[in-house]
Amino acid sequence: MAGQAARRRTFAVISHPDAGKSTLTEALALHARAIGEAGAVHGKAGRNATVSDWMAIERQRGISISSTALQFAYRDAVINLLDTPGHADFSEDTYRVLTAVDCAVMLLDAAKGLEPQTLKLFEVCRHRRVPVITFINKWDRPGHEPLALLDEIERRIGLKCTPLTWPVGIAGQFHGVVDRRTGGMVRFERSPGGATAAIEEHLAPAGAAERFGPDWHRAVEELDLLTLTGADHDEAAFNAATTTPVLFGAAVANAGVRQLLDVLVEHAPPPRPRPDTDGQARAIDAPFSGFVFKIQANMNPSHRDQIAFVRVCSGRFERGMVVTHATTGRPFATKYAQQVFGRDRETLDEAYPGDVVGLVNATALAIGDTLHAGPVVSYPPLPSFAPEHFAVLRATDSSKFKRFRRGIEQLDAEGIVQVLRSNARGDQAPVLAAVGPMQFEVATYRLTVEFGVPTELEHLPYRMARRTDPAGRDTLQTERGVEVLTRDRDNALLALVLDKWRLRALVSEYPRLVLEPLLADASYEAVAT
């Protein structure tokens, strides 16, 4: 058990939109030989699309909308790579993924440095003490000086940078990297079209100096300066999430990606005991336990099924075992267990801590639910973000109401949107609540494509939601600029308020009124606000 868990490396890639996250995910799978050819985000030049962005709307828009799990072997390790949406509107999905990983790769654009969404996601990692490896991408294009980028990281997020590779050549004139572990240089030559791994040539220091003269000497001088400042990798400091190893590369050219994979295998932490709801750490070798961090339906249009993604936290999972659903206390059979690779999947017979198990048609499960064998355990629930955008949704074809209702229930179960209802509006006009407006676009697109239900949206003016109680509902039902609805997933009463000034007025007029913020976990306030 301990040996199998020690082989696992479970990590997420986080970044601002357009930093190259999906491209890097594709390049990592390529270098591990999990795929034969790297796809392109927009599928250009006759190339396939990326395996992580499998939804049609993702390929049309060129952005990640839903998180994706990829498992593959590299060297003697088992890699569980979770690709996350970069856009702020889908931060809730990204947050859930960050609860299921042991490490994160923070991807930066060499020309842009730290961007707002990256900073927000890093704050979640900081709060959860998730170690972070930094990959500075797009070094094949013009960008900032490498020392300036390191200074920005240390100044703005407080992590001490300990580079493991260093670029030879300024941004836009990328020859390769100095590997600090060997002292030599790895020269990269982009393969035709960038669909296959970059050609690598390993050079001794003397050979690198002879071929790349000033660029090599500049890189060595900068590394000498970093050595004098103590910027050397320290395993304990990295695991304590106070330092970040830094690597340079160009994911679109598949350059520097193999070095990142090697660092993940050699330095990223394996699964560790995970605290339960009571704060007690569940040992890795304890009986099986895990929690649901994602639900996805209709990955295969031919089957129209639903998959619950379970992060294994302890013990050995075996397909067919009967476990306990902690929320209900009832037994739960795991006959239909699968290993997921993007939208592709195959039957999975066993899994270990760090792995992600896909349970098919597990409709009794909800995001945040715990499954366990042996002694009772329950992991902390995954709360919902506070929505800031609201819209009434209606089916334009009344004859398809049953499909409409089924689709709404599915989108709510997946966490695509929150579904709110009131007696005044009725079931035919639920209110969708979202962190960002792009969630509405995804919801209506999926209802049309997957359920065959065309819909129309009526945007509401509210910008805040607060939890209230029956007394609050009665008090607020005649107030202007506020509406109380019931949330489907937990029957909570939510008061939708016009803006912060109206909220202040209500609190002032009714000091005993219950209007509680929805945020229940400080670790995601950074990405929700």
pTM of the model: 0.88
Predicted confidence at residue 195, as pLDDT, reads 73
Distance of alpha carbon 474 from alpha carbon 486, whole angstroms: 13
* Percent of the chain at pLDDT exceeding 90: 69
pLDDT over 80 (residue 6): yes
How far apart, in whole angstroms, are the C-alpha atoms of residue 441 and residue 445? 6
Range with lowest mean pLDDT among 30-44, 119-133, 191-205, 246-260 = 30-44
Tell me whether residue 269 is annotated as binding: no
Say what the pLDDT of residue 265 is. Answer: 96
Domains and CATH numbers, the chain: 2-270 (3.40.50.300), 275-372 (2.40.30.10), 389-528 (3.30.70.3280)
8 A C-beta contact, residue 322 and residue 334: yes
Q: What is the pLDDT of residue 86?
A: 65
Q: Which of 46-60, 255-269, 387-401, 428-442 has the lowest mean pLDDT?
A: 46-60
Q: Is 89 annotated as a binding residue?
A: no
Known binding residue 84? Answer is: yes
Contact 122, 132 (CB under 8 A): yes
Digit-coded pLDDT (tens) for 478-525: 999 999 999 998 899 999 999 999 999 999 999 999 999 986 454 555
**Token couple for 373:** 């064998």
Taking only the tens place, the pLDDT of each residue in 219-255 is 999 999 999 999 999 999 999 999 999 999 999 999 9
For the cut 50, the answer to whether the pLDDT of residue 373 exceeds it is yes
| Residue 285 annotated as part of some ligand binding site | no
pLDDT at 54: 47
159-189: pLDDT as tens digits: 999 999 999 999 999 999 999 989 999 999 8
Asked whether residue 85 is marked as a ligand-binding residue, the answer is yes
Q: For residue 36, with 0-12 CB atoms within 10 Å meaning exposed, 13-18 middle and 19 or more buried, which class applies?
A: exposed
Instruction: Using alpha carbons, select from 205, 227, 224 the residue that is nearest to residue 216.
Output: 205
Q: If you average pLDDT over every residue of the chain, what do you get?
A: 89
More confident residue, 395 or 16: 395
pLDDT of residue 361: 85
